[in-house]
Amino acid sequence: MNDLFEKAKEVLPHSYAHYSKFKVAAAIRLQDGKIITGVNVENASFGLTNCAERTALFTAFTQGYRKEDITEMVVTTEKDYIISPCGACRQVMSELMTPDALIHMVTKSGKVTTVKNKELLPLAFQESDL
């Protein structure tokens, strides 16, 4: 998990948080050992903003990976308190990651809270609900 945290910290300055000034970075580990990162990218039309978690996941899927390939994710910010994924990210994560994938929420100083993906969004809207 430490290497994921280091990768997330490394890309955190690349966040485009022009409006909120709230930078977020994510890093996901794939079964083949590859690490993919993402940052939040804001837009003046706030609804078009993309969070770090979704950026990392969409990048992995663009490269041909699927949820079974993702073992864990780190989410970090410049804050020294735990930040959890937003509701939109939780919904996307519930579909694009396995239920047992580990989600590590890490403070600036390295304090970690870890949960399984399925714990972030109980009763998530799923494909079976369609």
Report the C-alpha gap between 14 and 24 in whole angstroms.
9
Integer Cα distance of 25 and 84 in angstroms? 12
Residue 69: left if φ>0, alpha if ψ -120 to 50, beta else—which one?
alpha
95 catalytic residue (yes or no): no
Give the pairing of strands 35-39 and 70-77.
unpaired
Considering 6, 42, 53, 78, which one is annotated as catalytic?
A: 53
Could you give the residue ranges of the DSSP H alpha helices within 24-86? 52-62
Q: Given CA atoms 54, 122, 23, 26 in this order, what sign does their dihedral have?
A: negative
Q: Catalytic residues, which ones? A: 53
